[in-house]
């Protein structure tokens, strides 16, 4: 099924407006990143003040009862301090994501089709999905500790989209004018967005694990990391995210083959893009297999997860731009 995406549908004014919204989103999310960083920087001071309040409350109870309560610090319930910078970071994340959604929506209006036809559009939509996943997760759990690890890469990818990958609004090349564009590329973008969150968790895991390996001396360094879950918890969370992302990437691989048969008459042509899509699948399959059968966890599994995300970066940042093939539609 071919769709008609002629240049008559292009609205350059709305496309310019979309790029302005992207810049605005990047600015707001940069401020969110700084706010999350300040929140983490204040974690050691919050912990020290909470411990002081517990000690004071324990002494007050001991005086009132006329007896010394050995377990008073552990049983005394105190209201946690308000985390002003963390709250600001979350508010800015919501605003930055809203601006990004508007940027994607206006790009859709400008080109009259799903904004998935080149690197610029793919990067923009991928950043949007990653932020939406992060914010949806934040509604269920307090993950302000993850904010700086998520907004940092997202701002970087937004800047790459705006500065390096920017492509003027245009119609699709003939091979992309198919309903498979919305199906295949959207699911691929969702999978990459989840893989980006997994990458952020893996980076946090390595920092936390580095502290744990050095014992008490290591835990005294980077005290702000005490605000994050343990290394084992971060490792398990990464595994959970990739369990969701992997079936999406599997579907991406299969749907791409079906689309290739429709567009070019062959399910598989050993095109560079196809090969790297398969490489990504193999690496993440190895990660899940190693965890499920060999019981791998911790650093060994984390290295494979990093290799998978590195393959994603190569696929979209190198293969799309520098390799000539049937998938040469980066727009650069």
Residues 284-302 have pLDDT tens digits of 999 999 988 877 778 888 9
Torsion sign (Cα): 158, 164, 168, 173? negative
- In this prediction, residue 113 has a pLDDT band, given cuts at 50, 70 and 90, of confident
Q: Is the pLDDT of residue 326 over 60?
A: no
Q: Is the pLDDT of residue 158 over 50?
A: yes
Q: 3-state DSSP call for residue 237?
A: helix
Q: Is 311 exposed, middle or buried (0-12, 13-18, 19+ CB in 10 A)?
A: buried
For residue 2, what are the β-bridge partners? 178
Q: What is the largest distance, in Å, between two alpha-carbon atoms of the chain?
A: 87
The residue to which tokens 């650069």 are assigned = 332
User: What is 255-311 written as a DSSP string?
Assistant: HHHHHHHHHHS-S----HHHHHHHHHHHHHHHHHHHHHHS---THHHHHHHHHHHHH
pLDDT for 50-80, tens place per residue? 556 566 655 666 555 555 544 444 444 556 6
> What is residue 57's predicted lDDT score, i.e. its pLDDT?
58
Decide if 232 contacts 239 (C-beta within 8 A): no
Q: Is the pLDDT of residue 4 over 70?
A: no
Decide if 2 contacts 177 (C-beta within 8 A): yes
Q: Is 243 exposed, middle or buried (0-12, 13-18, 19+ CB in 10 A)?
A: middle
- R_g over Cα of the chain: 24
Q: 3-state DSSP call for residue 160?
A: helix
pTM: 0.81
pLDDT for 121-147, tens place per residue? 999 999 999 999 999 999 999 999 999
The residue to which tokens 């301090």 are assigned = 81
Calculate the alpha carbon distances from 188 to 39, 93, 168, 229, 247 in Å.
33, 24, 23, 29, 10
Alpha-carbon distance of 176 to 117, in angstroms, equals: 7
pLDDT for 235-287, tens place per residue? 999 999 999 999 999 999 998 888 878 767 777 778 888 888 999 999 999 99
**Cβ-based neighbour number of residue 295 at 10 Å:** 8
Structure tokens at 109: 């209006």
Q: 3-state DSSP call for residue 2?
A: strand
Decide if 117 contacts 111 (C-beta within 8 A): yes
């Amino acid at each position: 099924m071919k769709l008609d995406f002629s240049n008559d549908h292009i609205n350059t004014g709305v496309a310019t407006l979309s790029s302005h919204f992207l810049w605005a989103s990047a600015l707001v999310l940069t401020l969110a990143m700084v706010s999350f960083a300040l929140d983490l920087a204040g974690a050691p001071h919050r912990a020290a003040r909470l411990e002081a309040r517990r000690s004071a409350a324990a002494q007050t109870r001991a005086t009132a009862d006329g007896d010394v309560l050995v377990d008073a610090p552990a049983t005394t319930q105190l209201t946690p301090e308000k985390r002003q910078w963390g709250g600001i970071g979350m508010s800015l994340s919501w605003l930055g994501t809203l601006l990004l959604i508007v940027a994607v929506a206006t790009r859709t209006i400008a080109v009259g089709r799903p904004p998935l036809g080149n690197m610029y559009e793919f990067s923009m939509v991928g950043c949007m999905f990653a932020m939406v996943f992060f914010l949806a997760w934040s509604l269920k759990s307090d993950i302000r500790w993850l904010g700086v690890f998520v907004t940092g890469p997202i701002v970087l990818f937004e800047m790459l989209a705006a500065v390096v990958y920017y492509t003027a609004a245009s119609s699709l090349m003939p091979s992309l004018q198919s309903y498979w564009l919305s199906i295949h590329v959207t699911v691929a973008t969702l999978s990459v967005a989840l893989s980006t969150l997994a990458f952020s968790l893996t980076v946090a895991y390595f920092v936390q694990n580095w502290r744990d390996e050095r014992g008490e001396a290591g835990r005294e360094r980077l005290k702000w990391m005490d605000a994050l879950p343990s290394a084992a918890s971060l490792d398990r969370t990464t595994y959970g995210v990739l369990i969701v992302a992997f079936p999406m990437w599997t579907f991406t691989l299969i749907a791409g083959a079906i689309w290739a048969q429709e567009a070019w008459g062959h399910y598989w042509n050993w095109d560079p893009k196809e090969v790297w899509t398969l490489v990504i699948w193999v690496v993440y399959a190895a990660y899940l297999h190693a965890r499920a059968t060999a019981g791998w966890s911790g650093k060994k599994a984390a290295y494979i997860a990093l290799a998978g995300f590195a393959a994603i970066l190569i696929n979209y940042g190198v293969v799309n731009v520098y390799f000539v093939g049937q998938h040469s539609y980066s727009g650069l």
